[in-house]
């Protein structure tokens, strides 16, 4: 297996974001030849096609697109807001998909971990996030599905995962994700 690189996209801006804790842990599990880059979404202005059409898009958009383009894989770690995807994550997808004909996500391998303080595991966010992937041509890992519910109970105050079964589950998840990125990037 050659060197691969995945971006990690977190759908929460909170300082103490549970998703960031989970994202940090899974990033630490990547093998040596597999780089995981946490990609900041907080500076992306809300998508407005005029800014592209006027030929002067925000430099944060341009930089974001340039970061997404060379990736082999994309790992989305998302909370659920009101039974669906947080706007910050949907906006990142939209910014990266444009301008028309220059979809930066095209052909990448994708994975989703959804995270919730409640028991439903952010199912609504997890599956709503999959619908744009068809259009964006992000090829999705299916199993294992990753719904991390009751997340507050498995993190300590430093944001470290204290549940051994969750740690093991996430290790298995990362094994599958790494293999998936490898398969899809070699296909291109």
Nearer to a copy of itself, 33 or 131 (CB): 131
What is the nearest approach in angstroms of a copy of itself to the Cβ of residue 29? 21
Alpha carbon 166 to chain centroid distance? Answer: 19
Nearer to a copy of itself, 28 or 168 (CB): 168
DSSP label at 73? E
What is the nearest approach in angstroms of a copy of itself to the Cβ of residue 179? 8
Distances (CA, A) of 154 to 26, 29, 145: 15, 18, 18
What is the nearest approach in angstroms of a copy of itself to the Cβ of residue 59? 18
What is the nearest approach in angstroms of a copy of itself to the Cβ of residue 183? 5
Between helix 123-136 and helix 87-96 the angle, nearest 10°, is 10
Number of helical H runs and strand E runs in the chain: 6, 6
Contact 75, 36 (CB under 8 A): yes
Nearer to a copy of itself, 38 or 120 (CB): 120
Between helix 87-96 and helix 59-68 the angle, nearest 10°, is 80
Tally of CB atoms within 10 A around 90: 17
Nearer to a copy of itself, 62 or 131 (CB): 131
Nearer to a copy of itself, 23 or 136 (CB): 136
Calpha distance 149→83 (Å, rounded)? 14
What is the nearest approach in angstroms of a copy of itself to the Cβ of residue 95? 9
Q: Contact residues for a copy of itself (CB under 8 A)?
A: 13-15, 42, 46-50, 81-88, 90-91, 93-94, 97, 106, 119-121, 123-124, 127-128, 130-140, 142-143, 145, 147, 149, 179, 183-184, 187
């Amino acid at each position: 297996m050659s060197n691969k690189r995945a971006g990690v996209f977190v759908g929460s801006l909170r300082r103490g974001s549970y998703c960031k804790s989970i994202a940090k842990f899974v990033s630490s599990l990547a093998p040596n030849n597999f780089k995981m880059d946490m990609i900041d979404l907080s500076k992306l202005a809300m998508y407005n096609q005029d800014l592209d059409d006027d030929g002067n898009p925000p430099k944060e958009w341009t930089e974001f697109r340039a970061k997404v383009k060379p990736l082999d894989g994309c790992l989305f770690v998302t909370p659920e807001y009101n039974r669906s995807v947080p706007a910050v994550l949907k906006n990142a997808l939209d910014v990266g998909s444009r301008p028309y004909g220059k979809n930066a996500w095209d052909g990448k391998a994708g994975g989703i971990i959804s995270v919730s303080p409640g028991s439903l595991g952010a199912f609504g966010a997890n599956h709503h996030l999959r619908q744009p992937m068809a259009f964006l041509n992000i090829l999705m890992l299916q199993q294992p599905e990753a719904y991390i519910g009751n997340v507050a109970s498995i993190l300590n105050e430093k944001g470290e995962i204290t549940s051994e079964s969750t740690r093991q589950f996430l290790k298995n998840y990362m094994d599958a994700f790494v293999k998936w990125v490898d398969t899809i990037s070699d296909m291109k």
